[in-house]
Structure 1
Amino acid sequence: MRGGPSENPELWAFLESLHCGELLSGTVTAIERFGVFVGLDDGPEHPVFPGVGFISVAELSWRRFEAASEVVRVGQRVRCEFLQFDTWNLEARLSLRATQPDPFQAFAAGTAVGQKLHGRVTKVVPFGVFVQVADGIEGLVHLRELTWTPVETPADVVQVGDEVAVVVTEIDRERRRLVLSRRQGSSDDR
């Protein structure tokens, strides 16, 4: 799309000089639906985009959010980790979340399977509910783990905002997944 090293030699040389894991500083220049452009302090301008650096939505934060504007704002200074040279778009793919500790790993280190927790229902889906058990930490309670008696839909039992007692049934650190049971957390429903 942008041509090879001959069309933008300065930009190409700059991007090729970067190493995975290197920290780069810059300023957020534009926020799009698909990610955020960053004007890097070092390095040339981009011929088309509002910045040579780009952070995809997935790399913005460990926490769940609806829009990129909840995490960063235009004009904000950021320090990001370099992930890769995108040779198609001639940009530096960056990660903001890689520079922050992953709250899930800290939570997982201090939590055990079988542990009882209290949380708030944040989302109701056809197959279960998501429960926030700590700041930025949500787990899934499958429909079959909501009550001792089978129910058609989660909404028959709980609503968003309800406080519930749950038990940790699985912690997957690699996939950052927490599986919970409301049924085991309460014997009242039997």
Structure 2
Amino acid sequence: MCTAPAPLFHQIWSRDQWQDLPVYRSHLTPLMFLERSLHVFPDKLAVVDGERRFTYGQFGARIYRLASALRGRGIQEGDRVAILCRNSMEVLEAHFAIPQIGAVMVPINVRLTSEEIRYILDHSGARALLIEASLASLLDPIRHQLPELELVVRIDLWERHREPKPATDALPDVPSYEEFLLEGRPEPFA
């Protein structure tokens, strides 16, 4: 004789019972969540990228160095900072460092052609580009067509900056991410 498996919960709650429970809402932004984690778990493992491992403390220090380097090179609140890199620790750092100074991140798909990259850089108004060294050949043929692009930084070089946390944090109402969707020509997605 076969019996049905026991339910996972001793009591199945009705929808009405769930609705009566108090709701905890947190107004943590990703930057606030990171800041909290840096203080609560500074020695806990935060990121693994291949053989590289970083605690929250180390990860935060790297983010603050990048944010400070961008601020030191003139990137200000509301400026667009594009990033052309494969998924890596450095991309994750940029996802926090760029909004940390109030700038807007413009991620660019590494599979695009030089012309598509030029279009996104031009139409996004990007003042800076963080680029993986192995992808620099995509920028070479179009660089002269991008007068608004004032700063190009190879990701393997940004660790040289040693400044502490930037002086200002992003304001909650400042957009931190601008995405372009491809349907023919890339257009900003709002």
Shorter-chain TM-score above 0.5: no
Instruction: Name the TM-score class by shorter chain.
Output: under 0.3
Structure having the higher strand fraction is 1
Structure 2 length-normalised TM: 0.24
Structure 1 length-normalised TM: 0.24
Structure having the higher helix fraction is 2
Structure number with the bigger relative contact order (C-alpha 8 A, sep ≥ 6) is 2
